[in-house]
A and B are shown apart, each in its own frame.
Chain A
């Protein structure tokens, strides 16, 4: 293929333009701010630019790859396939990150082939998002990719081979809408010794979560599970747990036993931020909720709870957390609307006992969402206002269709903090 020189380049001996003479890694840096499509397009700028893009360390193939004209599905699929083949074949040098996330993702065989190629590069960050269709079965070769630092999978089925003994270098794992067998899950978590971040959303195939991970610092989970326990997780600082199923609370199971709350917090001595979402507070409240915890949560500075104010056990659990977190600064309370109307609690919560020996709370910022003004809610807010002497801001967002009585009630309450600013967001 003959390249034509442009007529005016009797300037071939003149000094080259500055941008083409920038060092390779700076060009990489500049091109990495562009989509892969635009980066590869620089190959036609001049002969020098032919392969400047080919050392890009991060390859991201997403919806910016192909202009979304009204071409038919098959055409888009084959176009995407050709582009990725082309890029992978011409690329030289290490590939640090590979991300594939396109709505019209191709059939299975292409992805298997690309994954195999990437494990030989070896890739450090692998992100695969299958937007639609059934779970994509991850090819076996990925499980031998020991260079991985970060693995992110969406809508995939993981079946590690029996020879799989973990990812030695994996620091961050993000699995959403995945299927994984119980033993495979446990093996995966406990055999990644450097794991620091774990995200699990909407999973199936396993119900019992036993998290054994000595370096784990960040844990974010939302899904349906029967129970959760932690082992050797003393580094965990940020935890967010959402239990998406409203289980029938089988009180007899934990009758007389210490509550799930105690078991839960014992393994999280250094926790700093905690989010309890959906029905997880109900789970934690099972068993006997103590007044004092064996060790207080001295590092806890941010707490967010989704709570059913009609359940006095959940209120106990919430208060237990508040009482035993002396350094809590920020609190968020989200009322959980129940689908079925709940019968009025048999006895109203005994606040006098609570207030008798309540320690000083240092909470500065409070946000309350979704209350409608029923008595248990008002009692709780009243309590917070009275026992937070350094409160600076409280923001209250009512549930839909809440009448004006709520504002009147809020205005009435005494405040321990003279600086407290209570705002009503409607």
Chain B
């Protein structure tokens, strides 16, 4: 599922692999990523159930979401990246710029109004 891991495995000769370095991923986040990959690879759940599980999985604080998005990006797991980006987008949808800035703690709000 992770293209990064797959590439690593394919480039390093097999008898030399003891561990693959994923230096940019914190252990708690890696746990969650592994949980996601396991669930999606198990093929035990129906598509509908899997979608519900995904919704639950992504129902976390936005800082965790950002960690997940960076890890999914680094490890090149496209479906997880899609899921988390979609969730972040959902948090932006329907909110005014002021509300979005407040939610994500964005400082330096520009007062330059774009003509929309």
Contact = CB atoms under 8 A, between A and B. Distances in A.
Interface in A5-25: 5-6, 8-9, 11-12, 14, 16-20, 22-23
B108 A19 contact: no
Contacts of A83: 116
Interface stretch (B12-20, B26-34, B37-45, B97-105): B97-105
A213 B109 CA distance: 55
Given A33-B85, A33-B89, A44-B97, A6 B108 contact: yes
Interface string A307-325: 0000000000000000000
B93 A38 contact: yes
Interface stretch (A45-53, A151-159, A169-177, A340-348): A45-53
Interface in A39-81: 40-50
B111 interface: yes
B100 A50 contact: no
Interface residues of A, number: 40
A31 interface: yes
Given A17-B104, A30-B92, A46-B101, A40 B109 contact: no
Nearest to A66: B116
B110 A38 contact: no
Contacts of A38: 92-93
- Candidate in A5, A30, A42, A47 with the most chain B CB atoms within 10 angstroms: A30
A366 to B, nearest CB: 25
Contact of B70 (A8, A9, A11, A22): A22
A50 B115 contact: no
A49 B73 CA distance: 21
Given A18-B63, A33-B86, A34-B93, A46 B107 contact: yes
A122 B110 CA distance: 32
Given A22-B66, A26-B69, A44 B113 contact: yes
Interface string B53-95: 0000000001100100110010000000110011011101100
B113 A45 contact: no
Name, among A19, A20, A38, A47, the residue most crowded by chain B CB atoms within 10 Å (CB to CB): A19
A9 B92 CA distance: 23
A30 B116 contact: no
Interface of B: 62-63, 66, 69-70, 73, 81-82, 85-86, 88-90, 92-93, 97, 100-101, 104-116
Q: Identify the 7 closest CB pairs spanning chains A and B, nearest first.
A: A33-B89, A29-B85, A19-B104, A46-B108, A30-B85, A44-B97, A17-B105
Given A19-B66, A45-B106, 13 more contacts: A18-B63, A19-B104, A22-B66, A22-B70, A26-B70, A30-B85, A43-B114, A44-B110, A45-B101, A46-B106, A48-B108, A49-B110, A82-B115
23 contacts: A1-B112, A5-B108, A19-B62, A19-B66, A20-B106, A22-B70, A23-B73, A26-B73, A26-B81, A29-B85, A30-B85, A33-B86, A34-B92, A40-B116, A42-B92, A44-B97, A44-B109, A46-B107, A46-B109, A46-B110, A47-B110, A82-B115, A86-B115
